[in-house]
Amino acid sequence: MDRILIRGGHRLAGRLPISGAKNAALTLMPAALLTDEPLTLRNLPRLADVDGFGHLLNQLGASTAVEGTRPDEFGRVMTIRAGRLTSTEAPYDIVRKMRASILVLGPLIGRGGEARVSLPGGCAIGNRPIDLHLKALEAIGAELEMAAGYVRATAPTINGQGGRLSGGRYRFPVVSVGATENVLMAAVTARGGSCIENAAREPEIVDLCRCLIAMGAKIDGIGTDTIEVEGTDRLHGATYSVMPDRIEAGSYACAAAITGGELELTGVSVDDMGATLSALEEAGVRVEPTREGVRVTADGPLRPLTLSTAPYPGFATDMQAQFMAMLTLAQGASVLTETIFENRYMHVPELARMGADITVSGRTAVVRGVAGLTGAPVMATDLRASMSLILAGLAATGETSVARVYHLDRGYERLEEKLSGVGADIERVSDG
Ligand code: EPZ
């Protein structure tokens, strides 16, 4: 199994390219199921989860052709053709490894009026039920059956005509990114219109809406909490470029801050990173938009923060762990509150092994800044937790060894290459 070794204490400096967004790619890929014509996705990140999703699409009968890109290039171009589906089932064996597989549910109903998808089960960061996905799909006309760990969804036959949802209205009791994406992808081919209230407003949802419109869908209220969809008989193929990854960019911005460095993050749009960049500025980091992205410069000692995670445009839960690592070196005590997931502090004991001073009670963590961290062997537990350990390792004296880096490979494209390109002493070793 691979580990990542970091010899810390190096100030990072230079330009770092940002890849396409994992959480956009994982909802754009299933959108291809909505048409029998090809959907070409550009700027698709090379990540384990993207490979996993490609495998799931193949399982359903879609082909996925990757155009060759130069090895030094980041990202790639994939053309997905779901000409004829040979299956409408997402099996347990795939879904248990990648919960985002649930995002085939909406498009499969939208395409052929039926789907059978394994329930994802629990996750390291929380229970993560899918009840809202199901309630929203029911509200726009789906009939659901739960059996043997699977949900079977069908679009009822009306006046002898089958296979299409009626459309309808649904108000989410809490904001859910995945459930918004699923109901959106089902609603675009419904007979009638749909209205989705208290919808998630994440930039990845805006990206999905834009891609669906490029495929012929009719959607209003993009980026707002009320999305109106007018059902369309048929969608067509398109070519679409995946948005840049605002979470990857935020993670590397924390790398600049924690190492006292200066990084220009290229290919990212600052508009998508509002809460992250203003929190960095509040911590005393200089943030300057550039022609190609944003420059982040550590400008003196880090100041402590009080932060609560929230749905977009609030402070992202996917940035919580990285900020925690950064704030272990702030001058004073910070207070972080995780409001989205009930178990997203598994990085705390690992950071403590490196000398961090953090107390957790319930959803709140108090991070008292220390003078320095010391390298140690640590264990990754989930995607963003693993990035917080990498950040701590970059700042620590001595060597840090991060185990279980397969978590990292799910969401960070060629991390060691990007970081060593700006001065980090980092390498991946394999323990066979
Ligand atoms: C997406 O997960 C992201 N994943 C997550 O990123 C991200 O943390 C999350 O949104 C919140 O921003 C992808 O896009 C693939 P939710 P998702 O549905 O859609 C509860 C990363 O690190 N809920 O918005 O699963 C749920 O338990 C990952 O890249 C229900 O109760 O998140 C949570 O507490 C981790 N019932 C809250 O809502 C439901 O049916 C928000 O979850 C659905 C969700």
In the reported structure, the alpha carbon of residue 241 is separated from the centroid of ligand 1 by a whole-number distance in angstroms of 23
> Is residue 88 pLDDT above 90, yes or no?
yes
Distance CA 360, CA 336 (A): 9
Return the residue whose CA atom lies nearest to atom 10 of ligand 1: 177
Give the neighbor-by-neighbor strand order of the sheet with 425-430.
377-379, 399-403, 2-7, 425-430
CA neighbours within 13 Å on the CB side: how many for 203?
20
Query: Mean pLDDT throughout 289-309?
Result: 97
174 lines ligand 1 (CB under 6 A): yes
Query: Mean pLDDT throughout 308-312?
Result: 98
> Is residue 156 pLDDT above 90, yes or no?
no
> Is residue 340 pLDDT above 80, yes or no?
yes
> Is residue 352 pLDDT above 80, yes or no?
yes
Lowest mean pLDDT among 70-84, 243-257, 387-401: 70-84
In the reported structure, the alpha carbon of residue 321 is separated from the centroid of ligand 1 by a whole-number distance in angstroms of 16
Neighbours of 202 (CB within 10 A): 25
Query: pLDDT class for 1, splitting at 50, 70, 90?
Result: confident
Distance CA 148, CA 360 (A): 38
Return the residue whose CA atom lies nearest to atom 28 of ligand 1: 318
Atom number, ligand 1, closest to the C-alpha of residue 125: 35
Strand, helix or coil for residue 353: helix
Atom number, ligand 1, closest to the C-alpha of residue 200: 24
178 lines ligand 1 (CB under 6 A): yes
179 lines ligand 1 (CB under 6 A): yes
**Average pLDDT value over all residues in the chain:** 96
Query: Mean pLDDT throughout 153-170?
Result: 85
Query: Percentage of the chain with pLDDT > 90?
Result: 93
Give the neighbor-by-neighbor strand order of the sheet with 193-197.
169-171, 193-197, 226-230, 218-220
46 in Cβ contact with 76 (< 8 Å): yes
Query: Mean pLDDT throughout 222-237?
Result: 97
In the reported structure, the alpha carbon of residue 365 is separated from the centroid of ligand 1 by a whole-number distance in angstroms of 21
In the reported structure, the alpha carbon of residue 431 is separated from the centroid of ligand 1 by a whole-number distance in angstroms of 33
pLDDT value at position 89?
97
Query: Percentage of the chain with pLDDT > 70?
Result: 98
Distance CA 106, CA 134 (A): 10
Q: Of 185, 175, 42, nearest to 102 (Cα)?
A: 185
Distance CA 382, CA 378 (A): 13
pLDDT tens, residue by residue, 364-415: 999 999 999 999 999 999 999 999 999 999 999 999 999 999 999 999 999 9
pTM of the model: 0.97
Return the residue whose CA atom lies nearest to atom 13 of ligand 1: 23
**Pocket probe mutation, ligand 1, options 22, 47, 102, 176, max atoms within 8 Å of Cβ:** 176
Return the residue whose CA atom lies nearest to atom 38 of ligand 1: 176
* Residue 144 to residues 113, 155, 193, Cα–Cα distance (Å): 12, 9, 20
133 lines ligand 1 (CB under 6 A): yes
pLDDT value at position 67?
86
pLDDT value at position 122?
72
In the reported structure, the alpha carbon of residue 177 is separated from the centroid of ligand 1 by a whole-number distance in angstroms of 6
176 lines ligand 1 (CB under 6 A): yes
Distance CA 330, CA 256 (A): 14
Distance CA 81, CA 62 (A): 5
123 lines ligand 1 (CB under 6 A): no
Catalytic annotation on 123?
yes
Query: pLDDT class for 34, splitting at 50, 70, 90?
Result: very high
In the reported structure, the alpha carbon of residue 171 is separated from the centroid of ligand 1 by a whole-number distance in angstroms of 17
* Residue 206 to residues 7, 27, 211, 272, 313, Cα–Cα distance (Å): 39, 11, 9, 10, 12
Please identify which of the residues 123, 195, 209, 254 carries the catalytic annotation.
Answer: 123
> Is residue 71 pLDDT above 70, yes or no?
no
Atom number, ligand 1, closest to the C-alpha of residue 312: 12
pLDDT value at position 163?
80
> Is residue 201 pLDDT above 70, yes or no?
yes
Distance CA 375, CA 385 (A): 16
Query: Mean pLDDT throughout 12-36?
Result: 98
253 lines ligand 1 (CB under 6 A): no
Distance CA 304, CA 344 (A): 20
- What sign does the dihedral 229-272-346-338 (CA atoms) show? negative
In the reported structure, the alpha carbon of residue 341 is separated from the centroid of ligand 1 by a whole-number distance in angstroms of 8
Atom number, ligand 1, closest to the C-alpha of residue 178: 19
Structure tokens at 257: 């801050």
| Burial status of residue 361 (CB atoms within 10 A of its CB: 0-12, 13-18, 19 or more) | exposed
Helix, strand, coil: what percent of the chain each, to 5? 35, 30, 40
Question: What is the amino acid identity at position 177?
Answer: V
Atom number, ligand 1, closest to the C-alpha of residue 127: 27
Atom number, ligand 1, closest to the C-alpha of residue 132: 40
| Burial status of residue 93 (CB atoms within 10 A of its CB: 0-12, 13-18, 19 or more) | exposed
336 in Cβ contact with 307 (< 8 Å): yes
pLDDT value at position 431?
81
313 lines ligand 1 (CB under 6 A): no
pLDDT value at position 176?
98
Strand, helix or coil for residue 355: coil
> Is residue 69 pLDDT above 70, yes or no?
no
Structure tokens at 191: 């007979």
**Pocket probe mutation, ligand 1, options 128, 133, 225, 323, max atoms within 8 Å of Cβ:** 128
201 lines ligand 1 (CB under 6 A): no
Cα 254–chain centre separation: 17
